[in-house]
Amino acid sequence: MLDKDKALVVLSGGQDSTTCLFWAKRQFKEVYAISFLYGQKHQLEVELARKIAAKANVPITVREVNFIGEISTGCSLTDSSIEMDQEKPADSLPNTFVPGRNLFFLSIAAVHARELGIKNLVTGVSQTDYSGYPDCRDAFIRSLNVTLNLAMDEQFIIHTPLMWLNKAETWRLSDELGVFDLVRHETLTCYNSIPGDGCGHCPACTLRRQGLEEYLKSKQQ
CB of 22 to Zn ion, least distance (A): 23
As a whole number of angstroms, the distance between CA 53 and CA 215 comes to: 25
CB of 37 to Zn ion, least distance (A): 20
Residues in region 66-125 near Zn ion by CB under 5 A: none
Residue closer to Zn ion (CB basis): 12 or 145: 12
CB of 166 to Zn ion, least distance (A): 19
Total of residues contacting Zn ion (CB under 5 A): 6
Residues in region 150-209 near Zn ion by CB under 5 A: 190, 192, 198-199, 202, 205
91, exposed or middle or buried, with CB in 10 Å at 0-12, 13-18, 19+? exposed
- The CA-based angle 83-89-90, given to 5 degrees, is 170
Binding mask 33-72 for Zn ion (x = CB under 5 A): ----------------------------------------
Evaluate whether 6 touches 117 at the Cβ level (below 8 Å): yes
Phi, psi of 208 (to 5 degrees): -65, -45
Evaluate whether 10 touches 106 at the Cβ level (below 8 Å): yes
CB of 210 to Zn ion, least distance (A): 13
Residue closer to Zn ion (CB basis): 63 or 209: 209
Residue closer to Zn ion (CB basis): 49 or 205: 205
Residue closer to Zn ion (CB basis): 39 or 198: 198
Residue closer to Zn ion (CB basis): 19 or 96: 96
- Write out the DSSP string of 21-40: HHHHHHH-SEEEEEEEE-S-
Residue closer to Zn ion (CB basis): 158 or 205: 205
CB of 82 to Zn ion, least distance (A): 16
Q: Residue 204 contacts by C-beta under 8 Å, 6 or more apart in sequence?
A: 189, 190, 191, 198
Buried b (16+ CB within 10 A) or exposed e, 106-137: bbbbbebbbeeebbbbbbbbbbebeeebebbb
CB of 44 to Zn ion, least distance (A): 13
155 three-class SS? coil
Residues found near Zn ion in the complex (CB under 5 A): 190, 192, 198-199, 202, 205
